[in-house]
Amino acid sequence: MQAFSIPSDSMQNTLQRGDRVLVDKLTPWFGSEPERGEVVVFHDPGGWLEDAATPEPNAAQKFLSFIGLMPSAEEKDLIKRVIAVGGDTVECKKNGPVTVNGKALDDKSFIFEGNSACDDQPFGPIHVPEGRIWVMGDHRQNSLDSRYHQELPGQGTVSVDEVVGRAVLVAWPVNRWATLPVPKTFDQPGLNAAAAAAVPGALGVAGALPLVFWRRRRLTRGRTAG
């Protein structure tokens, strides 16, 4: 586990500016990869944060970074929600919902109140290559996510090798304490038909470490941004 600071509003109301989240960095050792619906921290894939300033860390952040409980203040990472994974086709037309493999996502439980699914930046259809993910912020009208980087290598998708970990818990401030479960819409029948028959190879070691039961996948290091 490692703590990460949230410096932007791109994941409201799920995460607020100033929240400290705990990120599970353990499960990559079991060869896992990000899943739809998870909130993940990932390194800048290249060009996403070129114009983003890194906020000056306070004394507490510097100390926690020094002892390894927080990432270095110089690192620029992002935090978003995984919407689609390798092999998926994702799309969102103006006034419409986000669809994954033809299934509409009911995002009312997690996107910022008053936001549309993608009216500010419709997209797709996008076929997500294997080993990559499509990510979006929960505050859709205030998130420079995969939709806004389609002109870069990867066409807006992020390599799973860039993923640091899955955010599993809001740990601070105390009155914001909460787990970060996967919304039910990502478990709807037919959404993951192609992988329905797949059995995780690491299932045999699941009993050894309870953290494996958090539906994680692959991950690594960082500080969050827009």
Tokens of 188: 């709807």
Tokens of 143: 């998130």
Distances (CA, A) of 87 to 36, 42, 90, 121: 12, 20, 10, 22
| Residues 209, 33: Cα–Cα separation, whole Å | 17
Nearest alpha carbon to residue 136 among 153, 121, 114, 154 = 121
Residue 80 bears catalytic tag: yes
Strand locations in 18-156, DSSP E? 20-24, 39-43, 77-85, 89-92, 98-100, 103-104, 123-127, 132-136
The catalytically annotated residue of 10, 65, 143, 159 is 10
Strand locations in the chain, DSSP E? 2-5, 20-24, 39-43, 77-85, 89-92, 98-100, 103-104, 123-127, 132-136, 158-159, 163-172, 178-179
The catalytically annotated residue of 32, 76, 80, 159 is 80
Catalytic residues: 10, 80
